[in-house]
A = this chain, B = another copy of it.
Amino acid sequence: MREIGVGILGFGTVGAGVVEGLLQNGELIAGRCGIRPVVKRIADLDIVSDRGLAIPAGVLTTDAAAVIADEEVDIVVELVGGTTIAKQFTEQALAMGKPVVTANKALLADHGAELYALADERDTGIYYEAAVGGGIPVLRAQREGLIGNRIEHIFGILNGTCNYILTRMELEGLPFDEVLADAQALGYAETPPDLDIDGIDTAHKAVLLASMAYGAPVPMEACPTSGIRGLSKEDILNADELGYRIKLLAIIKQLDDAVELSVEAALVPKSAMIGSVNDSFNAVFMKGDIVDDTMYYGRGAGRLPTGSAVISDIMEAAADVIQEAGTPTGITMMREREVLSYLPADEVRKRCYLRLSLADEPGAMAQVMHVLGEHSINVASVVQKEQHSDGLVPVVVLTEQARERDFCEAMKRIVGLSICLAEPVRFRLEDFEDEGC
């Protein structure tokens, strides 16, 4: 049976997961594919710590360049992370005509275009299933399973840390800071947690999904991004009472002549499939013009689930190496066109949830409604809650669709009203009407 030599750069959580998966199921994989994946070399700065895995002598090294150059290494697996050394290693491997498998969404979101071009030039490929949705084979579904489809929209829950925090806040009624601290103590959240909770990790993944869907590199600047930092449990409770949950969503929509793209916390219906995605699970809802609604769900992070996706890429790269396929035909949907147009954030039409803190005065609500009406914002429902002990009257408004610019202007005017006693809170609301999510 033909062997394929694998060189792994980075022996951290995911690297160890890949090696564990290959040790556990290597024979099974070989039986299925007729190709045996063999880990020839592993490079890491730390080659001393015990990962609980039986690694033969001579496999571990601190010299990444030697692994990349090793004649026995047919495929380079980049699991170093970050965008500096990882970029150098990736370029070195591609320059030698070796395919690179990576889980590094930041690297591809920031430098994808030049790396894909280099891979093309050297007739090899970059494989990155593990970069989006962890173990979920969502990129494969998109670029192969849905190859016959224009992608009408994608909604993604793509960050397990945020989804874990949101789920616990909702189920246990706990404040954001407490759940975050807990998640950090349990190792579910990094310290500092910024990349996760400020939505940047989700934006990296959104940019990769949009690039693949629309056939051109999507720059991070095209994706207005906010996260869940400081989300109040009051808003989670209000959402719950109205039949919604708050999720951090990647939102990608193909409009008539532009792509709408954002990462933001949004209310989604509890009764919809997307409302059932809890804990650290990820899910991607993708609608094609031919296939209609589809959805992919699973663990978006973790040593073994991410390892599963890396292994699937290793075997795809192995088949391409053995077939001497040139630029792999499997890796498509990436470079049909040079540029995309993006809908300016101001022009996005959306529904919103508003929480206002008003004075307990006659006519306060009327003033707010007047401002909303003047900015073409129709109100779908209003709930005035019990007065707080500090005298504020919380008012929760769900709006119909309106333009972001109109929301911004209306909010500015409401803040200027004397009856508006605290900064309004606003979230997008996605009701998935006519959408099987």
Q: Which residues of A contact B (CB under 8 A)?
A: 17, 21-22, 24-25, 28-29, 31-35, 129, 135-137, 140-141, 143-150, 215, 272-273, 276-277, 281, 288-299, 302, 304-305, 307-309, 311-312, 315-316, 319, 322-323, 325, 329-330, 332-333, 336-337, 436
Contacts and interface: CB of A to CB of B under 8 A. Distances in A.
A311 B319 CA distance: 22
Contacts of A276: 272-273, 276
Given A295-B298, A304-B291, A137 B148 contact: no
Each complex incorporates copies of this chain amounting to 2
A79 to B, nearest CB: 15
A25 B148 contact: yes
25 contacts: A32-B215, A33-B147, A34-B332, A35-B329, A135-B291, A135-B292, A135-B294, A137-B146, A141-B296, A144-B144, A145-B312, A146-B312, A148-B308, A148-B311, A148-B312, A272-B276, A281-B293, A288-B308, A291-B298, A291-B304, A292-B304, A293-B297, A294-B298, A295-B297, A323-B329
A305 B291 contact: yes
Nearest to A21: B290
Nearest to A135: B291
A274 to B, nearest CB: 10
Given A32-B332, A135-B292, A148-B308, 4 more contacts: A137-B144, A144-B144, A291-B308, A292-B304
Given A24-B289, A273-B273, A329 B136 contact: no
B24 A290 contact: yes
A291 to B, nearest CB: 4
User: Which of A24, A129, A332 has the most CB atoms of chain B within a 10 A radius of its CB?
Assistant: A332
Contacts of A333: 32
A316 B329 CA distance: 9
A319 B312 contact: no
Contact of A149 (B144, B148, B272, B308): B308
A117 to B, nearest CB: 16
Nearest to A437: B297
A140 B32 CA distance: 14
User: Which of A25, A305, A329 has the most CB atoms of chain B within a 10 A radius of its CB?
Assistant: A329
Nearest to A145: B137
Given A140-B140, A146-B137, A309-B145, A329 B336 contact: no
A204 to B, nearest CB: 20
Nearest to A33: B332
Contact of A281 (B136, B281, B296, B436): B436
A315 B136 contact: no
Contact of A296 (B149, B296, B309, B311): B296
A21 B295 CA distance: 20
Nearest to A292: B299
Contacts of A129: 145
Contacts of A143: 32
Contacts of A148: 21-22, 25, 29, 307-308, 311-312, 315
B215 A31 contact: yes
